[in-house]
Amino acid sequence: MQVGYHLPLGPFDIELTAQINPEFGIRPSIDLDGISGTVVNVTPYANLGAVTTMSVGIPIITKFGIEGDISLIEYDFIMGTSGKLDFVSKDNKVHQLKGKIQEEISHKLLGPNGKVYLFVEYPACVEDEPDGFWEIATHIL
């Protein structure tokens, strides 16, 4: 979901945008530990992130501003089952089979983290193109 606000102020364009990025799903995994073991994990997860931008621009010439990309909350509910089968042998003969099944449940919760950065955008400068940036900028000035 994204919302934005555009305000022309004289020769400047001021833009404010905000975007919320919800994400959820399941991450399955299977790890084989040779012949003797297998680990199966199923991890339901949910993430909620947001991106906000504030910029000031001069139409056709440039745009600059500040942007923040923040992960508000990240939650993993980890459910795993592992099984292991051991062969106990003596003189290369199997005397005994030992099995083990283990269940693991854990939670992982990460709080707000992210980054804030400054940016500058400008059009590509192509001199050979007849309607290129430099020709348009010359007519404006």
Looking at residue 131, its pLDDT comes to 53
CA–CA gap between residue 60 and residue 56 (Å, rounded): 12
Mean pLDDT check: name the lowest of 2-6, 19-23, 60-64, 136-140: 136-140
Q: How confident is the model at residue 130 (pLDDT cuts 50, 70, 90)?
A: low
What is the SS3 assignment for 133? Answer: helix
CA atoms within 13 Å, Cβ hemisphere of 35 = 3
Question: Would you give the distance in Å from CA 18 to the centre of its chain?
Answer: 16
Q: What is the largest CA-CA distance in the chain?
A: 92
Tens of pLDDT, residue by residue over 16-35, are 899 988 988 988 888 776 66
Instruction: Read off the pLDDT of residues 59-79 as tens digits, 9 standing for 90 and up.
Output: 777 888 888 888 888 888 888
